[in-house]
Amino acid sequence: MATTDSPNANPNNTPAVKPPKPHARLEKWIWILIYGGLFVVILGIATGRTDAALGWSLAVPGGIVALIGFVLIYVRSRLPNTPTK
């Protein structure tokens, strides 16, 4: 006889408690910096077709911001996963 219970169901019918993500704020900022920086780079490239100076002044800071996001990925990989108390 087949059961309708999911294979991950708790036998005590208590909700599963997820462990806290100790670096969730850092991970959020990593992706904001990467995608925001790449967006500004694209905006700079598109603007550079009509005004080269303005295009460069947008693309370079956007690239630096995206690079900071990529560096933070490396920093995050070196942090311990244990939550601090």
List, for residues 52-65, the tens digit of each pLDDT value.
Answer: 999 999 999 999 99
Question: 60-83: per-residue pLDDT in tens?
Answer: 999 999 999 999 999 999 988 876
Angle 69-74-79 from CA coordinates, rounded to 5°: 115
The residue that leads in pLDDT, 22 or 57, is: 57
C-alpha 74 chain-centroid distance: 12
What band does 1 get if pLDDT is binned at 50, 70 and 90? low
**How much is the average pLDDT of 39-55?**
96
d(CA 82, CA 55): 43
d(CA 41, CA 39): 5
d(CA 62, CA 48): 13
d(CA 69, CA 33): 5
**How much is the average pLDDT of 19-36?**
89
Prediction pTM value: 0.70
DSSP 19: P
**How much is the average pLDDT of 4-21?**
66
